[in-house]
Amino acid sequence: MSFKNSTAEKTTITRDLIDLEKNTGNIYEAIVMMAKRSNQINVDLKEELTQKLQEFASSTDNLEEIFENREQIEISKFYERLPKPVAIAIDEMLKDEIYARNPEEK
């Protein structure tokens, strides 16, 4: 999934618990699902950001390079403006885009 095109909320909003638990029937399972998905999203975003910022890494940094590197600053600002991983996970849960498998159930 492209996180850049996510329609998740960028601010905190009130959620209806009934909507969140409709897939699992248990609010605690739903929270665990969203937490695990949020961690996956966070890892993916961090890896992507690290790869992009490594292009600007140099062994010797002087003060002028730090203040003049506008591309690096723009990339960082873009990732800061993205919705938080938890908001993306909640949005995916409400749109039935994620599911959980229980290995104990067959």
Class of residue 34 by CB neighbours under 10 A (exposed 0-12, middle 13-18, buried 19+): buried
1 or 34, which is more confident? 34
| pLDDT confidence tier of residue 47, bands split at 50, 70 and 90 | very high
| pLDDT confidence tier of residue 43, bands split at 50, 70 and 90 | very high
The mean per-residue pLDDT over the stretch 78-92 comes to 89
In the chain, domain spans: 12-94
Token pair of 9 as six digits:
């909320």
The mean per-residue pLDDT over the stretch 45-71 comes to 74
